Structure 1
Amino acid sequence: MHNQGLGGWIHKRRIKSQHHAAVIEGEKSLSYAQLATRIDKLANALRQLGVEKGSRVAYLGNNHSAFLETLFAAGGIGAIFVPLNTRLTPRELNYALTDSGSTVLISSASLDDLAQAAKADSPVVHHLVLANEPGADSDYERALSNADAGYQDVAVEHEDPAIILYTSGTTGQPKGAVLTHGNMTWNSLNVLVDYDVTSDSKALMIAPMFHVASLGMGALPTLLKGGTLVLQDRFEPSAVLAAIEHHSITSLSGVPTTYQLLAEHPAWATTDISSLRMLTCGGSAVPMRVLEAYERRNLGFSGGYGMTETAPGVTSLQAERSRSKAGSAGLAHFFTDVRIVDPVGNELPAGEAGEILISGPNVIKEYWQLPEASEVAFINGNWFRSGDMGYLDEEGFLYISDRLKDMIISGGENIYPAEVEQAIMELDGVGSVAVIGVPDEKWGEVPRAIVVPVEGAEITAEEIKEHLAGRLARYKIPRTVVLTDDFPRTASGKIRKTDLRKTFGGSTPPAHIL
């Protein structure tokens, strides 16, 4: 085959696993042969719309077989897949469509108002609307039915771009991380080496696949191995528990809140979950009470550390080490290397904290059309600067100690304070603002805005939230606002966020909280 990338995966699985279920949605099931045929039809339909190697094809929707069909069809042509976060605002989505230069948008009918607003004044030329029910009549299904089913083997190399995933910008604007076919393939191999994924695996996909963790750690490795994906378009505890029992689910991935809500559900005690053999959890550490609830049912958690730019796996902590290495993010994945360095790039010994650097074939080479940002993201050519602080113990287990980039992780969603701060500063009456993460029992942490008003101005939390509505996704909008007279600053005038967290980071900080 000429196609060495993702676009050839399901074509090969059609031969090896043709009758095995690839995707289950509700009562509908697609075998690998059926999925391959639909992918081929979509690839040919996209060609009829002018899509060619290097073109960008965007997708806006929750978990659906069409997400996977679009990913693999684009890969079959050599086009670049642009999955969009459904929780973003029209303005944020428009930026991604415009910056990526996406000419085709495929979106769910349930999100049509959002899609229509997002594509206005963007490069999108063709918009295929997808029915909410799999296989129901729609623009998307008609495009498939009118297309040829033949597979065309296009030359695609591991170095070619496969996906552009937009990350919240540390300086206010999102950056498009360019994940190559090789990045996604090697990440999947890391998962297959370090986790218990087999051809009889049934992975319940409850986290949205437009997030790299769900796609890279769950969906792609399972399909590469020939297992089955059971798709749910949203997280609802009772539906998850029912699916685990009905489909004999073997693996589940989520954030601590996911597992907490399952364990607290009335059906938890009576649901047969004996088929489960792999639970992975990311975003933050699993609270002890949640860990104990699963241990009582003979289950443990695998954890890890990763980011969009590493496709996403960097380290993994196996379930059997979750207590002996409590607080650790685990060991580097098999084909990935981690080192800790001081501010000038010198490698540090075990136990000393510094910046986490990452190298491996799963690490991106560039950001989309941002050569300067791409250059400064690396040290010595191929060591990616994570922007996170941590240390390695004597056995090589990684511990995360701080975030250089101040990123907030709320319910598995990444929030960059600079983006929120920039939006708040557009409001009259705001003199200075800093956004920090504060503990939250349900979401792990949520954003809090600390505001210094312009002298004489009166500002309320409601005004700030109203101003941000429509500008930022809801999860990025601060839950609380603190008014203060001034910020602790360095000699150069920079805000000391470490000091701010000490003063305002608790659940009931001093000063005026709104």
Structure 2
Amino acid sequence: MTDIEGIGGWVLRRALMTPSRTAVVFGERCWTYAELASRVRRLAVRLREEGVRAGDRVAYLGANHPAFVETMFAAQLLGAIFVPLNFRLAAPEIDYMLRNSGSDVLVYGRGSAEVVRELESRPGLVIAVEEPEPGERDYEAFLAEGEDEPVQAPVRGEDIALILYTSGTTGKPKGAMLSHANLVWNTYNLLVGVDVTSEERTLISAPLFHVAALDQCLLPTLLKGACAVITPRWRVEEVFELIERRGITLLFGVTTMFADLAASPRWADADLSSLRIVMSGGAAIPESLIRTYQRRGLVFCQGYGMTETAPGATFLEASESARKVGSAGVPTMFTEVRVVGADGADVAPGEPGEVLIKGPNVSPGYWNDPEATAASRTGDGWFRSGDLGKLDEEGHLYVVDRVKDMFISGGENVYPAEVESAIFTHPAVAEVAVVGVPDDKWGEVGCAHVVPREDAALTLDELREHLQPRLAGYKIPARLEIREELPKTGSGKIQKSHLHPADES
């Protein structure tokens, strides 16, 4: 593939086309495309002066902030690889990702200062968005030192633009690589399925380290020259206020976020007239919640995908949402999806099988992990999702189960092997198995089934206290079941399908 501008050039192009349009809103501050492009160029120049070159990794740790956007585009202008990190993770988890990615630069927000202090491995250049500590650089001062001059390294479509870490079933996170071409084609897929316009005012409250908020919301919005209204976190009252005051037209969230809105006393009377597009991801929206939004004249656009597919694999357009409630839609325009049995052959409509995906939006693999990359592909190049699904007669996909043990809590993927590994470090634990169980608020939460060591005892509070410095909060089990033994197969493998909380047995 010939050299292209890559994702980093998108803001610069928009600044040429629509310099005075508002690109980003954060609190009471607004940046036009011309202002955003200038800041991105200045930051890129400074990073280049500090030695950042094509292929180097630049990490960001923190809640949603314009600095996230600027750091990403500045890194990509240089041909460097942007590594957004989950600010909900504990210091040992962030340490691993920084080491694994070999990040040369870390930019972090105020809320992540304590985690950064606890890091054992720090990149050579650490930049604090606010309140830098000794040895760190202040973000605004660092950026201001840069000249506003042309700086853009040519990149190829297959060059890596992002490394997004997703927890692995072996307990260690894997860095899914997304190329510039992956991001371009995913944006095309999204824009075919959703009528995003240059007049959009997109509320981005879901975390930008997630592929959905970043690739399905931010990038399409900025490509169209529309406005991204960024908030550090999801707060129900603030969302209602922003919809009314900022005239939000596009809203993205996961089930728990939309359930919180609908449960608010403001729901019945709030002015939601500006909303044109409501998109969901992370887990299927329950039919009852879909109906609740339909009664307010709002219709969900739902999709299915994952980090490795950048993320759109299938999409259910708004016009089909009532007729196909519960479906994840049909394959996106430039993506292929199959459902296959154990023999690799396509199953009949209505029959469950593993979901396979192929297309220019599919990740080339995992960073420095050729074994995991090979295991994620079939012999003829299809990506193995690890999810069980079925297709109806019209080609609509329904995700019915997971091949892997992963469960989704509040839109976050939780892999039990990682949680079990951390629980095993408690001296009272002899055996453990973690499974997801239904929860009214979060969709699913973790339940730890523990066999204690002889003469040892363990309470849920003790377990949670032990795990807090080791795992992100959403990964810590909400329930604990003490057992004399765990159900096992003849070969000694734990049978998780036989595990149920005591009150469900």
TM-score (norm 2): 0.96
Match of 1:127 in 2: 126
Q: Report the Cα distance in structure 1 between the residues aligned to 2:418 and 2:182, rounded to whole angstroms.
A: 27
Match of 1:135 in 2: none
Match of 1:463 in 2: 462
Match of 1:230 in 2: 229
Are 1:509 and 2:494 counterparts? no
Match of 1:252 in 2: 251
What does 1:97-496 align with in structure 2 at a 5 Å threshold? 97-118=98-119, 120-122=120-122, 124-131=123-130, 139-496=138-495
3-state SS of paired residue (1:358): strand
Q: Report the Cα distance in structure 2 between the residues aligned to 1:345 and 1:291, rounded to whole angstroms.
A: 34
3-state SS of paired residue (1:34): helix
What does 1:20-35 align with in structure 2 at a 5 Å threshold? 20-35=21-36
Q: Report the Cα distance in structure 1 between the residues aligned to 2:27 and 2:466, rounded to whole angstroms.
A: 40
Q: Report the Cα distance in structure 2 between the residues aligned to 1:492 and 1:168, rounded to whole angstroms.
A: 27
3-state SS of paired residue (2:221): helix
Q: 1:143: how far off?
A: 1.2
3-state SS of paired residue (1:150): coil
Q: 1:381: how far off?
A: 4.1
Q: 1:33: how far off?
A: 1.0
Give the residue type in structure 2 aligned to 1:257.
T
Q: Report the Cα distance in structure 1 between the residues aligned to 2:469 and 2:456, rounded to whole angstroms.
A: 24
Task: Give the length in aligned residue pairs.
Answer: 499
Match of 1:64 in 2: 65
**1:266-296 C-alpha deviation (Å, 9 max, x unpaired):** 3333332111011011222323443233222
Q: Report the Cα distance in structure 2 between the residues aligned to 1:75 and 1:182, rounded to whole angstroms.
A: 13
Deviates more, 1:453-462 or 1:209-218: 453-462
Deviates more, 1:181-190 or 1:446-455: 446-455
**1:356-403 C-alpha deviation (Å, 9 max, x unpaired):** 111011111110100111111100242001111111111111111111
Q: Report the Cα distance in structure 2 between the residues aligned to 1:389 and 1:221, rounded to whole angstroms.
A: 29
**1:215-255 C-alpha deviation (Å, 9 max, x unpaired):** 01111111111111001111111111111111111110001
Are 1:85 and 2:86 counterparts? yes
Q: 1:37: how far off?
A: 0.7
Match of 1:17 in 2: 18
3-state SS of paired residue (2:198): coil
Are 1:73 and 2:68 counterparts? no
3-state SS of paired residue (2:155): coil
Q: Report the Cα distance in structure 1 between the residues aligned to 2:129 and 2:139, rounded to whole angstroms.
A: 5
3-state SS of paired residue (2:31): strand
Q: Report the Cα distance in structure 2 between the residues aligned to 1:396 and 1:109, rounded to whole angstroms.
A: 47
Match of 2:45 in 1: 44
3-state SS of paired residue (2:385): strand
3-state SS of paired residue (2:171): coil
Contact 2:4 2:157 (C-alpha < 8 Å) held by counterparts: no
3-state SS of paired residue (1:324): coil
Q: Report the Cα distance in structure 1 between the residues aligned to 2:371 and 2:290, rounded to whole angstroms.
A: 43
**1:164-215 C-alpha deviation (Å, 9 max, x unpaired):** 1110111010011111111111111110001121111110001010111110
Q: 1:487: how far off?
A: 2.4
Give the share of equivalent positions with the same residue, in percent.
Answer: 49
Q: Report the Cα distance in structure 2 between the residues aligned to 1:46 and 1:340, rounded to whole angstroms.
A: 45
Q: 1:324: how far off?
A: 2.0
Q: Report the Cα distance in structure 2 between the residues aligned to 1:166 and 1:316, rounded to whole angstroms.
A: 23
Contact 1:104 1:125 (C-alpha < 8 Å) held by counterparts: yes
Gaps of at least 5 residues in structure 2 are: 132-136
**1:416-465 C-alpha deviation (Å, 9 max, x unpaired):** 00000111112223222111111111111111001122344322222322
Q: Report the Cα distance in structure 2 between the residues aligned to 1:64 and 1:487, rounded to whole angstroms.
A: 45
Match of 2:134 in 1: none
Give the residue type in structure 2 aligned to 1:121.
S
Give the residue type in structure 1 aligned to 2:69.
L
Q: Report the Cα distance in structure 1 between the residues aligned to 2:150 and 2:435, rounded to whole angstroms.
A: 50
Q: Report the Cα distance in structure 1 between the residues aligned to 2:358 and 2:128, rounded to whole angstroms.
A: 39
Q: Report the Cα distance in structure 2 between the residues aligned to 1:320 and 1:285, rounded to whole angstroms.
A: 17
3-state SS of paired residue (1:464): helix
Q: 1:494 to 1:87 in 2, by over 3 A?
A: same
Q: Report the Cα distance in structure 1 between the residues aligned to 2:401 and 2:268, rounded to whole angstroms.
A: 37
Q: Report the Cα distance in structure 2 between the residues aligned to 1:400 and 1:100, rounded to whole angstroms.
A: 32
Contact 2:60 2:84 (C-alpha < 8 Å) held by counterparts: yes
Contact 1:421 1:433 (C-alpha < 8 Å) held by counterparts: yes
Q: Report the Cα distance in structure 1 between the residues aligned to 2:340 and 2:243, rounded to whole angstroms.
A: 43
Q: 1:312 to 1:335 in 2, by over 3 A?
A: same
Give the residue type in structure 1 aligned to 2:93.
E
Q: 1:300: how far off?
A: 1.1
3-state SS of paired residue (2:365): coil
Contact 1:3 1:154 (C-alpha < 8 Å) held by counterparts: no
Q: Report the Cα distance in structure 2 between the residues aligned to 1:239 and 1:98, rounded to whole angstroms.
A: 37
Q: Report the Cα distance in structure 1 between the residues aligned to 2:458 and 2:112, rounded to whole angstroms.
A: 34
3-state SS of paired residue (2:156): coil
Q: 1:333: how far off?
A: 0.9
Gaps of at least 5 residues in structure 1 are: 133-137
3-state SS of paired residue (1:355): strand
Q: What root-mean-square deviation, in Å, do the aligned CA atoms of Structure 1 and Structure 2 show?
A: 1.6
Contact 2:327 2:399 (C-alpha < 8 Å) held by counterparts: yes
